[in-house]
């Protein structure tokens, strides 16, 4: 064989290897507290098996109590036709603080605009915290992404019990926090961080690779009449569910903030994992305030680097709203 043929063969093998790596789905655990926007996020993720290999869904108390967040996660799984994905229930309260919920936003059942029922398939046996410990302990180094759509209690408890599980984590992508935008539960704090800032501190201190999608970006990725019509035009059961959920859910934020549309906070995390090119941010140093007082639960992001501290978070600040809704529409079309 000539040198030219050998070189051509090497280039071809390299290209095939690169294609194979690009095509490999991301191993993913979704930790969540459904919640309306969580359900949209779960449907988006479960409609994307080529990119996301969902190992499990783990639930936590947050938007509503644990028994309801766990039921709503199983409902999303049923609606997506993905009952092979196990759902593990986790922490029923925050690590330190008194529990709080967001039924005023998400309704008493955690979902408004749709009928809820008891799903056919039950929870997986065992606890979400132990599942995280067991799975991340035996994972290949830096191989599993954890999408955190609610309070970070489950992962924090797992890290406290077995800090070395951090080695199995590729990245933790959080919907939470606020800097430029201001909070949505207090003037300073976003709900997920306010619900358990001590857990967020544990995850931050672990040294894991962290990406935050805060209110700074989710309040820019808003619904509109045209975008809701775009989702409705998909015209299947999944799209009808999403439109009904969003029509009920977005009213609170639109009325509260005077915005022209409503955010779909948690679904932005899944969109980021699927199409990171839709988003922009920068590496910053971030701290979480867990002191009692008016800044409890605040995330302080050193956007301009004035503290000269090492960056510990990729802080996402911009998002392509229409690109997000194009992606959501296309993926919902894959479901029934």
Task: State phi, psi for 219 to the nearest 5 degrees.
Answer: -80, 5
| Residue (of 184, 181, 299) closest to 253 by Cα position | 184
Cβ-contact 300, 285 below 8 angstroms: no
CA angle (252 as vertex; 68, 267 as ends), nearest 5? 60
Cβ-contact 154, 181 below 8 angstroms: no
Cβ-contact 177, 215 below 8 angstroms: yes
| Residue (of 236, 245, 229, 226) closest to 332 by Cα position | 236
Q: Is the peptide bond preceding residue 35 cis, with omega within 30 degrees of 0?
A: yes
**What's the CA gap between 5 and 173, in Å, rounded?**
44
| Residue (of 17, 8, 119, 120) closest to 68 by Cα position | 119
Give catalytic residue positions.
265
């Amino acid at each position: 064989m000539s040198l030219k043929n050998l070189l051509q063969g090497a280039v071809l093998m390299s290209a095939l290897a690169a294609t194979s790596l690009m095509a490999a789905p991301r191993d993913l655990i979704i930790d969540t507290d459904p919640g309306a926007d969580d359900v949209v996020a779960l449907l988006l993720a479960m409609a994307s098996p080529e990119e996301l290999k969902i190992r499990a869904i783990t639930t936590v108390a947050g938007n509503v109590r644990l028994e309801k967040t766990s039921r709503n996660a199983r409902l999303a799984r049923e609606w997506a036709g993905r009952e092979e994905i196990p759902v593990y229930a986790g922490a029923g309260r925050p690590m330190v603080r008194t529990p709080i919920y967001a039924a005023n936003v998400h309704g008493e059942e955690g979902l408004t605009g749709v009928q809820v029922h008891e799903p056919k398939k039950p929870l997986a046996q065992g606890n979400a915290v132990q599942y995280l410990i067991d799975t991340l302990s035996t994972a290949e180094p830096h191989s599993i992404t954890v999408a955190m759509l609610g309070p970070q209690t489950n992962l924090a408890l797992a890290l406290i019990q077995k800090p070395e599980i951090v080695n199995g984590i590729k990245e933790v992508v959080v919907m939470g926090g606020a800097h430029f935008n201001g909070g949505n539960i207090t003037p300073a704090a976003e709900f997920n961080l306010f619900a358990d800032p001590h857990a967020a501190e544990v995850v931050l201190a672990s040294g894991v690779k962290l990406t935050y999608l805060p209110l700074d970006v989710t309040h820019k990725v808003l619904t509109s009449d045209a975008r809701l019509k775009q989702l409705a035009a998909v015209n299947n059961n999944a799209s009808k569910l999403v439109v009904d959920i969003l029509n009920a859910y977005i009213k609170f934020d639109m009325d509260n903030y005077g915005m022209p549309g409503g955010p779909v906070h948690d679904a932005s995390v899944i969109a980021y994992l699927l199409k990171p090119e839709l988003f922009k941010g920068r590496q910053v140093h971030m701290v979480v305030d867990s002191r009692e007082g008016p800044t409890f639960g605040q995330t302080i992001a050193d956007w301009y680097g004035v503290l000269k501290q090492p960056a510990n978070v990729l802080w996402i600040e911009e998002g392509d709203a229409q690109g997000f809704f194009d992606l959501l529409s296309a993926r919902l079309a894959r479901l029934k």
